[in-house]
Structure 1
Amino acid sequence: MEYSSIQLDDLPDEILLIIFNKLNKLSVLYSLAGVNKRLNVIAHSPNFTGRLNLLRCLSDHSIRLLPKRRLERFCSQMLPEIHPKIKWLNLESISIKRILLSATYPALYGLGLYVYCNDIGEAMSLITKLYVRVQDFTDCLYLLDGRFSQLRTFRVDVYRIFSISLRTNNKVRLLDLKSFSLHSDMRTHVSDELIMPLLRRMLNLET
């Protein structure tokens, strides 16, 4: 590794970034972190820390856990160092709890979940904040059918809100929800029909 780091140090940052951007970002972050100060700065740049896939995607499109040793290093050493820079995480359901409890993520606005069928309920029960963009209002209602039992904050951007969207009569009260925001760039004339009934299910809203 010492020989490799000397060769890399001979190259300007611009060339290094071109090379590293053609490689797996997670592998770059894992391999370069802690080698030396210069490579550590590059590895911790937003190019490699902004969006992380903390899982393995195989050639048959199946999802697997990270190797135990690699996952442990990320959780105990690397995530606590780069957590303020992380904006998006793609996780699988078995290691999600370990990863989310390893650090706080103040800049995180997106979370991709790859769930094994037997673990889907447990994974959803861990989520307290959810920011999503959906196609129509029905998608919003499906997300608020009680499956996210610990949800405290929900922000949703809906492409369109119109009467035909209402295809569910879900009446579950959302007692734990404290903060709710709904946005759509398209005008709607069915607020009383669709939005007000949803708000009436949120008995403990604070914001």
Structure 2
Amino acid sequence: MSMDNSFVSIVDLPNEVLLNIFNKLNNFDVLYSLVGVNKKLDNVACDRTFTQFIDLTTISSSEKDDSKTNATLNRFCLHILPRIHNNVECLTVDACFLERILHSNKYFNLHRITLINLDVNRTSHIFNGIVLDLFTLKKYQISELVITIDYEVSSISMLILLIDIYHRIFVLLSNLKYLDLDVNNTYLFSKSLLSGLSSTTCVSSSITHLRIKLHNFDDCLCLLDGRFNQLHTFIVKLEYIHDPSLLRRTPSEIIHNSSILLNNTLGLQ
């Protein structure tokens, strides 16, 4: 048998096999490479089971002003997303590209957004714009938010911006059920991130899962004061406790507030 006769083209493979292969690859790379190339591969790549979770992190924010990056995003937004936008349930994207992606199409089934490399200097712009609409308009059902802030918080002005991020999330995003908020870089300030956040103005009371990084023990107590009465999972990372006396000052308050979380957890069983 000749090599020509024994060769099996990828387009001859069953759809199920193709999907198994595609699922081992980054779906952005698959979509960008195959959509518009071959009808069968095109249809399989745009299958709902493959396009529910879109990961755009292979597009680097360090190249956001690069002409090649802009051309890549233009093709994806104009020619690929219109084919799959109703399938997308979870979106992972560098924060600097979020607005461009969201403006390009409507995502009526989108319920989870993961933002990486959020620049604290652009927070107000992001949360006052289309992202706020996504979380507040009833036609959108965004209930899960994951944010990673990689920028170094090296000054008081940067810390103030970081505090603003935390406040906006807890006050403005009323439909959240799952929140994962992480600051990758250690900052050397003891100021509370949640100071001034009144429990009466905190409207994210529907949160059931909260994972957060903090540097102030009072913030932990704030989050367990009963404002999140649906909370059943609370994961907190404390890099450093600036005032260890707080651990001795309020043990009864810690126990009381923790019992609220325990009761919510037991209620799930």
Give the TM-score normalised by structure 2: 0.49
Deviation at 1:39, TM superposition (A): 1.4
Partner of 2:168: 147
What SS does the corresponding residue of 1:107 show, helix, strand or coil?
A: coil
Gaps of 5+ in 2: 1-7, 136-141, 147-162, 180-193, 210-223, 230-269
Alpha-carbon RMSD? 3.8
Partner of 2:51: 49
- C-alpha change, 1:97 and 1:182, in structure 2 (3 Å) is closer
Which amino acid counterpart does residue 49 of structure 1 have in structure 2? T
* Equivalences, count: 165
Give the TM-score normalised by structure 1: 0.62
Partner of 1:132: 144
Mark the structure with the bigger radius of gyration.
2
Identity %, equivalent residues: 30
CA distance in 1, matches of 2:46, 2:22: 12
Deviation at 1:181, TM superposition (A): 3.5
Matched-pair contact (CA < 8 Å) for 1:79–1:103: yes
Partner of 1:156: 177
1:102-149 alpha-carbon deviations (Å, 9 max, x no partner): 111111111011113432332233322152389xxxxxxx89954249
Which amino acid counterpart does residue 29 of structure 1 have in structure 2? L
1:171 equivalent in alignment to 2:183: no
What SS does the corresponding residue of 1:112 show, helix, strand or coil?
A: strand
Partner of 1:164: none
- C-alpha change, 1:132 and 1:14, in structure 2 (3 Å) is closer
CA distance in 2, matches of 1:12, 1:154: 41
Gaps of 5+ in 1: 1-5, 135-141, 159-166, 185-192, 199-207
Partner of 1:7: 9
What SS does the corresponding residue of 1:170 show, helix, strand or coil?
A: coil
Partner of 2:110: 108
What SS does the corresponding residue of 1:95 show, helix, strand or coil?
A: helix
1:119 equivalent in alignment to 2:122: yes
Structure with higher RCO (Cα < 8 A, 6+ apart):
1
